[in-house]
Amino acid sequence: MKLTPFLPVLSVSITALVTFTGCHKSDSASGGSGGKHKIAFVTNNASDYWTLARAGCERAAADLKDVELDYQIPSDGTVATQKTIVDNLLSRGEEGIAISPIDPANQTAYLQQVAKQAILVTQDSDAPDSGRTFYIGTDNEAAGEQAGGLIKEALPNGGKIMLFVGNVDAQNAVARINGIKKALQGSKVEIIDTRTDDTDRVRAKANVLDSVVKYPDLAMCVGIYSYNGPAIVEALKDANKVGAIKVVAFDQEEGTMAGVKSGAVYAAVVQQPDEFGYQSITMMEKILSGDKSVVPANGLKIIPTLAIKADGIDAYMEKLKQMRGK
């Protein structure tokens, strides 16, 4: 098995609320029910990728016992929906919010206001000027470099590749693409273009099909967001191009993992979102309890990524199964 770490190293409707509570702890200083700390975790879309983060959040809430947890998902992946969710959380007196900003640059001013009302943590995608207490997640540029290394490994003689992503403005997408480009410098691999889909899975698949037709000499498709991997595999199956066009993808969606298993996907660079969930909730609880020593000096809590290929997929899938409790 190869689980190659790379150090240092992307919803239910807006009214949906899933609350997980632990046991009562009467000496907590928070304003939650039963004196529990009210802490929320907000994703950036409804991707299956976030199920692992949810598992981590639940595990933290169960371990800590003094946390009232809100897990929120913007089903349409828009900034407006995400803002509505956060506004509602603040109105309910949330003390800490871990959020994956959809458009960090344009959300910074709003997040600065959020940070004045609650402990703000960015996870998965950073907004460094938002006043957040810390960022927890992947060093996305380093992860992009890792993907770039896999691309060169899969295409030793070079070739034309296409990148597919939801939004090129999101910090994690920008960093991953920059990392890929950095790793490919001096190689014979050529990036033709980057196609966006605004987190629309139907459009994501259509982008791949269009690219396959437009560029008959396309050598590889690279999926930047978690759902791009399955979309690429489905499109290549429809176009009868599985194996002829190689694939490198990010994250551990079922379709991507099945693709690694079958050989349709050369490799996947996977994050550890369960740790995003577990550690963000745990660290915010400590801060709310008066322990600020958990805040990294540089404001960054980096979780390593793993490179998963065919020889390591079975062991990795067993690990995912255990994390999901299945």
User: For the chain, what is the domain count?
Assistant: 2
Q: What share of the chain is helix, strand, coil (3-state, %, to 5)?
A: 45, 20, 35
Count Cβ atoms below 10 Å from residue 207 Cβ, excluding itself.
24
Task: For residues 168 and 224, give the distance between their C-alpha atoms in angstroms, rounded to a whole number.
Answer: 10
**Is 0.75 topped by the overall pTM?**
no
Residues 185, 263, single domain; the answer is yes
Largest distance between two CA atoms of the chain:
66
* In a domain? residue 116: yes
User: Do residue 15 and residue 96 come from a single domain?
Assistant: yes
Q: Are residues 91 and 172 in the same domain?
A: no
pLDDT tens across the length of the chain (326 residues): 434 444 333 333 333 333 333 332 333 345 555 689 999 999 999 887 898 999 999 999 999 999 999 999 999 999 999 999 999 999 999 999 999 999 999 999 999 999 999 999 999 889 999 999 999 998 999 999 999 999 999 999 999 999 999 999 887 899 999 999 999 999 999 999 999 999 899 999 999 999 999 999 999 999 999 999 999 999 999 999 999 999 999 999 999 999 999 999 999 999 999 999 999 999 999 999 999 999 999 999 999 999 999 999 999 999 888 877 65
- 125, part of any domain: yes
- Smallest CA-to-CA distance from 120 within 102, 94, 139 is with 94
Assess contact for 132 and 111: CB atoms under 8 A: yes
> Which domain covers residue 232, as residue numbers?
140-270
**Does residue 308 belong to any structural domain of this protein?**
no
Same domain, 171 and 119: no
Residues 289 and 252 in one domain: no
User: What are 313's two structure tokens?
Assistant: 């997929």
Strands (E), the chain: 3-6, 18-21, 37-42, 67-72, 96-99, 119-123, 134-137, 159-165, 189-196, 218-223, 246-250, 267-270, 300-302, 305-308
Q: Are residues 280 and 291 in the same domain?
A: yes
User: Do 221 and 170 share a domain, yes or no?
Assistant: yes
Q: Are 112 and 189 in the same domain? A: no
Sign of CA dihedral 319, 50, 302, 166: positive
Per this entry, what is the length of the chain? 326
Residues 298, 243, single domain; the answer is no
Amino acid symbol at 13: S
Say whether both 123 and 94 belong to one domain: yes
pLDDT value at position 1?
A: 40
Quick one: DSSP state of residue 80? H
* d(C-alpha 144, C-alpha 136), whole Å: 17
Within this chain, do residues 181 and 114 fall inside the same structural domain, yes or no? no
CA distance 266 to 248: 6
* Residues near 297 by beta carbon (within 8 Å), at least 6 away in sequence: none
Query: How many other CB atoms are there within 10 angstroms of residue 92's CB atom?
Result: 13
* CATH number of the domain to which 69 belongs: 3.40.50.2300
Residue-wise DSSP of 240-304: T-BTTBEEEEES--HHHHHHHHHTSSSEEEE--HHHHHHHHHHHHHHHHTT-GGGS-TTSEEE--
- Assess whether 259 and 288 both reside in one domain: no
- Of all helices (H) and strands (E), which one includes residue 320? helix 313-323
β-strand 267-270 against 246-250: which pairing, if any?
Answer: parallel
Query: Looking at the domain assignment, is residue 290 inside a domain?
Result: yes
